[in-house]
């Protein structure tokens, strides 16, 4: 009985046609398999052409007139103090200001400590010891030494990335225990205004640093903090219980603010995806986490490189594309940027092509057209292999 060889030949011819159609589709499809609502380089919100005016430079003499009157650290709930009363060990000890802002010593009625300086608190305890007839007049001598400043919550609004309640001067429990055992004071600078701004995510690139508002006891103090950006003198007062901070917007993008400084967060978190070949998944590419922290002020190209989207075999990895999904912090509108990696490498200084990254941005990479065709061929090979066994 003769074998009919026409059927396999017909099958292979059909599969070859299918392969040709798939290759043609891959070539016509280009590098990106979906159509994106892309933002052209000239229309990106960070382009300098959208902000033709620069902010006026501050007057040098004005910077030295900005500190609020009586700029000194004031006590708050949680602050730990060492109290010593000369001639009476009954009151000696380490005390913490209670949640209601009062200090409680043995046999003495609670003393209001919140928003007092250490010296005025010592004077008040001295007066109360005599008033409540616990120590004779002239014999009451109170010494108070700070052991540790506690965290402090203040409200921050305006042109910062994460407005709301900012808790400053936080420490890990291990650090607090070490300080409690060995430290004899606390010189922390983390209860200043700059700490509140960085805790709130840092200033946005549109922040007007010449008119920072500090609202205290119903009064508004205008502060110029631009000196902290350029290394000059600037007002940076201690914050107190009940303080509120507002950062107005200048209405303009300022590239000079897009770098690490005492007013910006040390780093920002971005999300990255690199499901590519030769890196078939994030584990193979050694990119094992979706979240990645990068320094503040880096651009899309650095984020793409950080996600392992650049490099590899030129013939198969060239002409790839990257997508940045961001948010305009001034309008809170989403922005989609689709750029070829070759274009990013060729125009690293153009903010329209290679924009600065904002906190919580998303970076994704697509395979090149060559890689797409290769994957299609592998898929068809898997389909053809069973047919050869017929």
Q: What is the pLDDT of residues 31-42, one digit of tens each?
A: 444 444 567 777
**Interacting residues of 64 by C-beta distance below 8 A, sequence separation 6+:** 233
Q: Whose CA is closest to 19, among 378, 261, 385?
A: 378
Calpha distance 146→113 (Å, rounded) = 13
Indicate whether 358 and 346 sit together in one domain: yes
pLDDT at 153 over 70: yes
Helix (H, G, I), strand (E, B) or coil at 264: strand
CATH of residue 107's domain is 3.30.1950.10
- The helix (H) or strand (E) run that includes residue 293 is strand 291-295
192 and 226 housed in the same domain: yes
* The predicted structure's pLDDT at residue 275: 57
**In the numeric block, which tokens belong to residue 374?**
């290769």
**Which of 83-97, 112-126, 376-390 has the highest average model confidence (pLDDT)?**
112-126
125, 111 contact by CB (below 8 A): yes
pLDDT at 182 over 70: no
Who's near 15: CB < 8 A, 6+ residues apart?
Answer: 380, 383, 384, 387
pLDDT band at 315 (very low <50, low <70, confident <90, very high): low
CB atoms within 10 A of CB 137: 9
In a domain, 73, yes or no: no
Residue 119, CA distances (Å) to 55, 56, 76, 90 in order: 42, 42, 14, 21
**How many residues are recorded in the chain?**
390
Q: Backbone dihedral region of 12: left (phi > 0), alpha (psi from -120 to 50 degrees) or beta?
A: alpha
CA distance 328 to 356: 11
**Cα separation values, 262 from 189, 226, 325, 344, Å:** 11, 11, 27, 29
- Taken in order 260, 263, 267, 269, is the CA torsion positive or negative? negative
| CA neighbor of 324 nearest in space, from 353, 349, 347 | 353
pLDDT for the residue numbered 63: 44
Calculate what percentage of the chain has a pLDDT beyond 70.
67
Q: Based on the fold, state whether residues 104 and 87 are members of the same structural domain.
A: yes
**Average pLDDT of the segment spanning 333-356:** 90
The pLDDT of residue 88: 81
DSSP per residue, 193-207? HHHHHHHTTBB-TTB
Nearest to 122 by CA among 149, 97, 141, 102: 141
Chain centroid offset of residue 262 CA: 13
Same domain? For 292 and 350 the reply is yes
**Strongest mean pLDDT among 2-16, 213-227, 300-314:** 213-227
Tokens 């650290």 belong to: 73
How many CB atoms neighbour CB 346 within 10 A? 11
Confidence of residue 14 (pLDDT cuts 50, 70, 90): low
Q: In whole angstroms, give the CA distance from residue 107 to residue 162.
A: 45
Residues 237, 296 share a domain: no
Between 82 and 29, whose confidence is greater?
Answer: 82
Instruction: Report the pLDDT value the prediction gives residue 231, as an integer from 0 to 100.
Output: 80
Residue 181 resides in a domain: no
Q: What is d(CA 258, CA 299) in angstroms, rounded to the nearest whole number?
A: 10
Lowest mean pLDDT: which of 88-102, 265-279, 340-354, 362-376? Answer: 362-376
Q: Domain of residue 331: give its range.
A: 267-279+286-371
**pLDDT at residue number 99:** 92
Asked if residue 26 lies in contact with residue 373, where contact means CB atoms within 8 angstroms, the answer is yes
Domain tally for the chain? 3
Return the residue matching tokens 């042109």: 159
Q: Answer yes or no: is 126 within a domain.
A: yes
Going across the sheet that includes 152-158, the strands are 164-168, 152-158, 244-247, 212-216, 219-223
Answer yes or no: are the C-beta atoms of 104 and 98 closer than 8 Å: yes
Q: Tell me if 387 is assigned to some domain.
A: no
Q: 28 pLDDT exceeds 70?
A: no
CATH number at residue 218: 3.10.560.10
Is residue 48 a part of any domain in this protein?
no
pLDDT given for residue 77 in this prediction:
92
Tokens 């099958």 — which residue?
11
**In terms of domains, do 131 and 192 share one?**
no
**Residues 126 and 112 grouped into a single domain:** yes
In a domain, 229, yes or no: yes
Both 156 and 144 in one domain: the answer is no
Beta bridge partners of 83: 93, 144
Q: Is residue 33 part of a domain?
A: no
Average pLDDT (351-367) is 87
- 101 and 166 co-located in one domain: no
Q: Which two tokens stand for residue 253?
A: 């993008």
Residues 111 and 162 occupy one common structural domain: no
Asked if residue 94 is part of any domain, the answer here is: yes
Average pLDDT, the chain: 78
Q: How confident is the model at residue 17 (pLDDT cuts 50, 70, 90)?
A: low
Residue 110 DSSP code: -
Let me know: does 269 contact 292? Beta carbons within 8 Å: yes
Residue 158 and residue 209 in one domain: yes
Q: Are residues 193 and 208 in the same domain?
A: yes
């Amino acid at each position: 009985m003769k074998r009919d060889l026409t059927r396999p030949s017909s099958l292979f011819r059909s599969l070859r046609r299918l392969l040709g159609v798939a290759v043609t589709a891959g070539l016509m499809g280009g590098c990106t398999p979906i159509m994106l609502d892309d933002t052209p380089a000239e229309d990106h919100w960070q382009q300098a052409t959208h902000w033709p005016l620069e902010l006026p430079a501050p007057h040098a003499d004005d910077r030295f007139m900005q500190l609020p009157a009586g700029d000194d650290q004031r006590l708050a709930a949680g602050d730990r103090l060492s109290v010593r009363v000369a001639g009476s060990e009954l009151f000696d000890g380490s005390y913490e200001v209670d949640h209601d802002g009062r200090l409680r010593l043995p046999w003495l009625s609670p003393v209001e400590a919140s928003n007092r300086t250490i010296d005025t608190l010592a004077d008040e305890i001295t007066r109360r010891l005599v008033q409540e007839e616990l120590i004779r007049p002239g014999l009451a001598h109170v010494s108070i030494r700070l052991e540790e400043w506690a965290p402090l919550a203040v409200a921050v609004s305006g042109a910062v990335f994460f407005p709301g309640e900012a808790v400053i001067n936080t420490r890990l429990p291990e650090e607090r225990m070490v300080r409690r055992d060995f430290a004899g004071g606390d010189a922390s600078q983390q209860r200043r205004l700059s700490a509140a701004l960085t805790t709130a995510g840092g200033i946005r690139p549109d922040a007007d640093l010449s008119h920072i508002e500090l609202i205290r006891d119903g009064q508004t103090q205008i502060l110029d903090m631009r000196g902290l950006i350029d290394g000059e003198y600037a007002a940076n007062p201690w914050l107190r219980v009940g303080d509120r901070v507002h950062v107005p917007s200048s209405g303009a993008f300022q590239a000079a603010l897009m770098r690490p400084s005492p007013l910006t967060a040390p780093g920002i978190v971005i999300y990255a995806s690199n499901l590519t070949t030769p890196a078939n998944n994030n584990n193979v590419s050694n990119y094992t986490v979706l979240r990645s922290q990068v320094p503040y002020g880096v651009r899309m190209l650095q984020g793409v490189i950080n996600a392992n989207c650049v490099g590899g075999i030129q013939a198969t990895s060239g002409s790839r594309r990257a997508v940045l999904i961001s948010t305009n912090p001034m309008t809170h509108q989403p922005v989609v940027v689709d750029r070829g990696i070759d274009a990013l490498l060729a125009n690293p200084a153009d903010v329209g092509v290679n924009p600065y990254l904002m906190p919580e941005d998303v970076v994704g990479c697509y395979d090149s057209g060559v890689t797409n065709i290769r994957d299609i061929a592998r898929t068809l090979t898997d389909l053809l292999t069973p047919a050869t066994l017929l």
